[in-house]
Structure 1
Amino acid sequence: MDLFDPVLDFEGELNASLRYGALDAANDSTALDYAVDAPNATFAFGLNASSNETKWVENEYNLPLWRELIWSFVFGSMVLVATGGNLIVIWIVMANRRMRTVTNIFLVNLSVADTMVSTLNVVFNFTYMLNLHWQFGLVYCKISQFVSILSICASVFTLMAISFDRYVAIMYPLRPRMGWKGTILIVVWIWVSSIFISMPNMLFYTTAALPIKDGGERIVCYGAWPDGDQGESHLEYAHTVILMVLTYIVPLLCMGYTYARIGMTLWGSRTIGEQTPRQMESIRSKRKVVKMMIVVVTIFAVCWLPYHVYFILSNVMPEIAFWSYIQETYLAIYWLAMSNSMYNPMIYCWLNSRFRNGFKKVFSFFLHDLRYEWP
């Protein structure tokens, strides 16, 4: 499951095109003919039978300029908000010693992953979606698809680490809290395991040049797996299913269980005797943190659900690639999944007073500079 699961694959069409160079249409009576109408994506292919009659099947993804501009604004705004918000979160925690708690260090790790996907992946994949031409080279084809999986794995594993840390802290309050060394070791494990899971994309993604009717060529970034090209490979399908289980189903089950138990403990239990003001403040503080993380996990589940549903449908019903408005439908699904990276800073600002004060300081600093430059 690369985060740009191309509607451009069109199952047979793209895979046929990737074999175009291996066939000699002049000498092979069963050669596949393939063409792409530039500058917009009109894919067509057919079988050149012995009668020299070619039947073309076309699938057109041609957005008017005004709709391209709207989508560019929507994606561009999301990237700016996600990048800016997450960088501010990182600055707030690292610049303030009191903010360097175990939970906040994990939040910094989450912000690093979200910043990576918004800056190193979304912009390039969105450009690819609009013109179906990969103009960033072979190396970045590999890097972009590698980062897409790396960032989502790091994000999900970090959310799981936070839920387990909160679970131990609240359910077993007498146990020693995790220290800096344990926190750093978990962060390192998160990135090492994410790199391992993402490595197939680095190894197997490549680029190919497709011929265009006017004599030019269009470059595609696709997965050339050992047992077949993207859309035909059983290894790719297995890798995608494993990713869906590891980055969506299992994490949601684990976090659902831990936060349900935590919620019953913090909101459902009744202590014997009167609580001291310090105990009541401690419970309120824990409730605020848990409430914030429950919102973060819920937003994550909502943002990524349509993407995983689309993946299931595209494998069960490949014909959906030919539905009307499927390109914009996929753009909306992709935007929703990627927009998850911009919501977390908003949630921290909304539900955590210290983060809120940090954001106020940053915005007041910039507003002060603007007033100074433009009196």
Structure 2
Amino acid sequence: MSLLIKDGNCFNCNQTSYDTNLTIQNISHSTLQNVEITNRPFQVSTGILSLLAILYGFISMLAVIGNSLVIIVILKDKKMQSITNIFIANLALADVLIGVFSIPFQFQAALLQRWVVPYFLCPVAPFIKNLTVCVSVFTLTVIAIDRYIAVMHPLKAGLQMKVAAFWLANIWLFGILSSLPNLVFFGVIEVPDLPFKNQTKPFCAHAYPSKTFMSTHVFYLFFVQYLLPLLVISYTYFRIVFKIWGTKPPGQHLDSQESARTRNRKKVVKMLILVVCLFVVCWMPLHIYQVLSQTYPTINNYENIHIIWFCSNWLAMSNSCYNPFVYGLLNCKFKREYQKLFSYVTCCKQSTSEDRDLVDYSDISAGSARRIQMYGTQVSSFKNGSFRRECNGRLISLKRVSGNTAQL
């Protein structure tokens, strides 16, 4: 295939031959002066497009399934509904929208090199893409600020649920306002259907009022979606890391409760820093390309620029499917809830038979209990004639029935 269109820019479109056939549909004006069209031929093999289609489809599926699980885990268990986890659920919702709206449309456009879905979705897809990116990075920024206050000023009250709801509403509102130009200035145009002469095909492209307006919007998005949040997040987490991992003053000893709180903070901060690092790494190449394409437009004439763009765009979109794995690997609570969702039936069957066979109930008396070994898990607490242990992510209660016996 010899025609390539990306981010609303059409490559290898013969403007001289087909200028009279290009029309804008579903947008407020019909000018084409700002649709970027060049006559440099770019050859995109069917094999590459097929590979990209598979890759885009794969990350779309992972993004929807993985982040839906994150939302379900947080909503179904009130113990999981901390302020930080509420923001994580908001981040997951944004990634689900990317998986549903943004990734599939780019995938079909890359594969078919034409716009085959309903025309009204042409401005909706880039609008949702920019909206969800704004929501994601703003959410990460608010989480970083919340963690900063909790660690650096522990005596101050952290974000309450009403305040968190206020921030969530403003995050989405600011994201909508930042993305409105995509909703207004994108539409379906007719481009040359090469190599067929005098034939055109529909494709989704932008038609900004002026080149300056387009460049301003690109630089604005780079600033609010990437540079400014990166500076704020870097500063807050640098201070947090220095605080909780830094050298303690001589003679200062933490009690067991404070030590446990510090360990928990370290785990949470590690997880959040990894989430931020993934966001920065995944989105950096695409942001660099977008800035360079406005500063040095001639880069769009480079022979392999289309491959660079496709790879950069795929890497950015793939960020939406990594976070659920990070939560499961680095957060024991999310890991336990994942296990409940995936292995509940198996866990129930195994724990019922194995615990009944291997627990020595003769050690349990009416008022006390010795330490009991169960598959390498030690139970050392016994209260009110019962004790609890965790098996495969599920809490198992054993209760006293008589003076010296107990059953599940």
Is 1:208 aligned to residue 189 of structure 2?
Answer: yes
Secondary structure of 2:303's counterpart equals coil
Moved more, 357-366 or 332-341: 357-366
Secondary structure of 2:216's counterpart equals helix
Deviation track 1:126-156 (CA, whole Å, cap 9, x = no partner) reads 2112332111233100110110110000000
**Aligned length in residues:** 329
Greater C-alpha radius of gyration? 2
Moved more, 250-259 or 342-351: 342-351
4+ residue runs over 6 A deviation:
14-18
2:234 aligned to which of 239, 244, 256: 256
1:6: Cα distance to partner?
2.9
- Structure 1: gaps of 5 or more residues: 24-31, 33-42, 46-56, 228-232, 369-375
Is the 1:8–1:14 contact (alpha carbons within 8 Å) kept by the matching residues of 2? Answer: no
Distance 2:147 2:222 in 1: 25
Which residue identity is paired with 1:242?
Y
Is 1:74 aligned to residue 55 of structure 2?
Answer: yes
User: What is the correspondence of 1:234-245 to structure 2 with a 5 Å cutoff?
Assistant: 234-245=212-223
1:104: Cα distance to partner?
0.2
Aligned residue for 2:292? 313
Is the 2:15–2:37 contact (alpha carbons within 8 Å) kept by the matching residues of 1? Answer: no
Deviation track 1:200-248 (CA, whole Å, cap 9, x = no partner) reads 1111111112344355421121112223xxxxx2101101101000010
> CA separation of 1:14/1:123 partners in 2, compared to 1, >3 Å: closer, same or farther?
farther
Is 1:134 aligned to residue 135 of structure 2?
Answer: no
User: What is the correspondence of 1:1-375 to structure 2 with a 5 Å cutoff?
Assistant: 5-6=6-7, 8-10=9-11, 13=13, 19-21=19-21, 57-64=39-46, 66-212=47-193, 213-227=196-210, 233-270=211-248, 272-365=251-344
Is the 2:101–2:125 contact (alpha carbons within 8 Å) kept by the matching residues of 1? Answer: yes
Distance 1:17 1:113 in 2: 42
Distance 2:42 2:53 in 1: 20
Is the 2:67–2:92 contact (alpha carbons within 8 Å) kept by the matching residues of 1? Answer: yes
Which residue identity is paired with 1:9?
C
Higher share of residues assigned helix: 1
- What percentage of residue pairs aligned between the two structures are identical? 31
TM-score, normalised to structure 2, is 0.75
- State the structure with bigger RCO (CA 8 A, min sep 6), 1 or 2: 1
- Structure 2: gaps of 5 or more residues: 24-31, 348-408
Distance 2:85 2:116 in 1: 38
Distance 2:219 2:18 in 1: 24
> CA separation of 1:326/1:280 partners in 2, compared to 1, >3 Å: closer, same or farther?
same
Distance 2:159 2:6 in 1: 39
Secondary structure of 2:116's counterpart equals coil
Distance 2:14 2:127 in 1: 21
Distance 1:14 1:179 in 2: 58
Secondary structure of 1:133's counterpart equals coil
Aligned residue for 1:29? none
1:14: Cα distance to partner?
7.7
1:60: Cα distance to partner?
2.9
Secondary structure of 1:226's counterpart equals coil
Is the 2:271–2:330 contact (alpha carbons within 8 Å) kept by the matching residues of 1? Answer: yes
Distance 1:115 1:44 in 2: 33
TM-score, normalised to structure 1, is 0.81
Is the 2:114–2:202 contact (alpha carbons within 8 Å) kept by the matching residues of 1? Answer: yes
Task: Please tell me the root mean square deviation across aligned C-alpha atoms, in Å.
Answer: 2.6
Distance 1:44 1:257 in 2: 42
Secondary structure of 1:137's counterpart equals coil
Distance 2:230 2:102 in 1: 24
Which residue identity is paired with 2:300?
A
